[in-house]
Amino acid sequence: MKTIFDVDSYICDRLAPARPGKVARHKLAYAAHRYAILKTGNPIFESVCAALPLGPCFLELLRDPNRRGNPDALSLEEKQLIDEVLQKLGAMSGRALAARSHRNYYEWRVMREGMNPNQVKSCGKYREISVALIRMLPDIQRRGANVGNPIGLQ
């Protein structure tokens, strides 16, 4: 399985010479992660995604933001999926991406319920946005919840 660092490096390479900030990198990686799960049923990579105040964040990338992955580890199909996300969201700032994640990601809102706006952990633990929860979004949407479209654009 690929890593968050492979996807992050691919995103940064595709957006060069611009260098997305830390927040933008998390949001773009999450959009690709979510889109892959909703489109194919499976994530591109496995990493704990926490529901933090600025939106979904991958703990590995948060702890080691300078680590370089191997974008060549990604398949052509995975790169095309990420490119779809970057086509829609790649020009947005980290602040704009964070704001849209608050509006458009049902799973983030659910995992943040009962937390203060700047609260990072609950009972000493991060609240994880699991792959299983993302896989449930189509069923949740059929019941009437606004879960956003696969990339999260409204």
pLDDT at 141: 87
d(CA 120, CA 117): 9
Q: What is the pLDDT of residues 21-56, one digit of tens each?
A: 999 999 999 999 999 999 999 999 999 999 999 899
The yes-or-no verdict on residue 148 having pLDDT over 50 is yes
d(CA 154, CA 147): 10
- Whether the full predicted model's pTM is greater than 0.85, yes or no, is yes
Confidence of residue 154 (pLDDT cuts 50, 70, 90): very low
User: Which tokens sit at 60?
Assistant: 């590995």
The yes-or-no verdict on residue 101 having pLDDT over 90 is no
d(CA 74, CA 65): 19
pLDDT at 103: 86
Structural contact between residues 108 and 51, judged by C-beta atoms closer than 8 angstroms:
yes
Domain ranges of the chain: 4-142
Confidence of residue 146 (pLDDT cuts 50, 70, 90): confident
pLDDT at 152: 57
Count Cβ atoms within 10 A of the Cβ of residue 135 and give its class: 0-12 exposed, 13-18 middle, 19 or more buried. Answer: middle
Q: What is the pLDDT of residues 61-86, one digit of tens each?
A: 999 999 999 999 999 999 999 999 99
